[in-house]
Amino acid sequence: MRDVHSLVRVEHVMGMAVSLDLDDDLPIDRLESLADGVFDWLRLVDGVFSTYKPESEISRLARGQLRREDCSPIVGEVLDRCAELWAETGGYFDVNAGGTLDPSGYVKGWAVQRACDRLRAEGSANHCLNAGGDIYVRGAPRGRPRWRVGIRHPWEALSVAWVLEVSDTAVATSGTYERGLHVLNPFTGAPAKDLRSVTVVGPDLGTADAYATAALAMGLKGIDWLATLPGHECAVVTEDGRALRSDDLPVAPPLGS
Amino acid sequence: MRRALMALMGTAAGTVLLVGAKAGFSSPQSDRAMQPQSANSPTPEASPAPVDALPPDAGPSAAPAGASQPAAGATKTAAQPAGNKTTAPAARPTTAAAGRTTMKDGTFNGKPVYVEYGNVELSIVVSGGKITDIKVLDSPNDHSRSVQISKGALPRLRAEALAAQSADIDTVTGATYTSSGYKLSLQSAIDRASQA
């Protein structure tokens, strides 16, 4: 019987808990090395993009102390994609909504997606990276056909409202129930509060996260907007307790069936 | 020592999600009646919500870490606090490898910590000197409520009953939580375990 390996690591990066589950049957030192690469990357991203660090490139760019062309290439890449997302979301995903440049709503998902793409290139076929509730999963954990991802119940912290079964998929959730009314409608400046939780499932985490944030900012009309997104599925809970989802959301069959 | 503790904070705070997930989500222990703010009071945009009031991590750990990191070279970042890692090889269930503190066995509740939108309160279970479980006793906006489902389903999204299930899951998606609150409550629980 050969050794079976997997590795779970949790670190506090970018102001949140990030957990990595590597479920590949690789030597343990190889798994450690892969995990090191993931967290080194996330810390590098934090150093460049953190709006809480006055000396980060994004902070200096926002203050006009750094020109965009003098930033690291990843800054331009992120801001270009944010501009596209602004257009795709009808202006509701807006990195300037709070009055100062803040692409954090895209950076987290983008960084996780990049980390997982690199894990695949380096030989990991089965992993789950969860950054503060935004997730990318690839392959499957041992003993299951796919990853089972719970969508947190927006009023009961220890329950889940849906369970998804997914592989090679991004799952992003934006909501008001943890950090309060922190998403602004960029057109009114008012905090968005009609939707309590928006989950978007799709191929790319940065995009899914931006769509979820945009729908939250839209309020009730975000429900209809989500239904029109090609290639993405969604689950929504409104502030008055309605639960809605797209028909093709990859919901797990009930246990025992 | 302080650094070690902060590192532990980070890892253990992160473990909340994992432990919750892998432990199969026991039912909420607190169903204190904390009414949803907006349930029956459709106050228009007048709410005085502090817009930028709560950074994702207002804790002191956020600031110093990267200040000395000038730019994005292609190389790896320099070694960060080395203790800031929890590796749980082999066994999938997450016993949070909690480092080398001298904690007494038992269950210790952390102090409730108020975090802008409510209390966060944790308890830890210490066994063999290690944290083996973290339970969330209270969390912002945590309450039970009956749910009314409107039958007027919106186009192309299916209306469903809002379920509250326990399930065997690998991970959880959700709004980014107030990690600073979890850290503070967790720290007090660890302090109590160490003093016991």
- What do you get for the CA distance between the two ends of chain A, in Å? 32
List the beta bridge partners of residue B161: none
The answer on pLDDT for A81 being more than 60 is: yes
d(CA A164, CA A148): 6
Q: State whether A149 and B142 contact (CB < 8 Å).
A: no
Residues 6+ apart with CB under 8 A from B193: B101, B103, B104, B106, B108, B124, B126
Q: State whether B140 and A74 contact (CB < 8 Å).
A: no
Write b or e for each residue in A52-88: b if 16 or more Cβ atoms lie within 10 A of its Cβ, otherwise e. Answer: bbeebbbbbbbeeebeeeebbebbeebbebbeebbee
d(CA B47, CA B28): 29
Average pLDDT, integer, range A130-159: 92
Taking the Cβ of residue B95 and every Cβ of chain A, the question of whether any pair is shorter than 8 Å is answered with: no
d(CA A252, CA B32): 30
Count of beta carbons in the 10 Å neighbourhood of residue B172: 26
Among B170, B183, B186, the residue to mutate for chain A (most A Cβ within 10 A): B170
Among B43, B116, B171, the residue to mutate for chain A (most A Cβ within 10 A): B171
Interface of A with B in 78-97 (CB under 8 A): none
Contact A115, A124 (CB under 8 A): no
Chain B: nearest CA to A44, how far in angstroms? Answer: 6
Q: Which of A108, A80, A97 is nearest to A183 (CA)?
A: A97
> What is the complex's ipTM, to 2 decimals?
0.87
The answer on pLDDT for A204 being more than 90 is: yes
**Model confidence pLDDT, tens digit, residues A103-137:** 999 999 999 999 999 999 999 999 999 998 999 99
Chain CA centroid to CA A249, Å: 17
Residues 6+ apart with CB under 8 A from B151: B159
Chain A: nearest CA to B122, how far in angstroms? Answer: 12
- What do you get for the CA distance between the two ends of chain B, in Å? 18
List the beta bridge partners of residue A162: A151
- Percent of chain A scoring above 90 in pLDDT: 76
For chain B, 196 residues long, the average pLDDT of each consecutive 10-residue run is 39 37 33 35 38 37 36 35 42 39 73 55 69 62 31 58 81 68 55 60
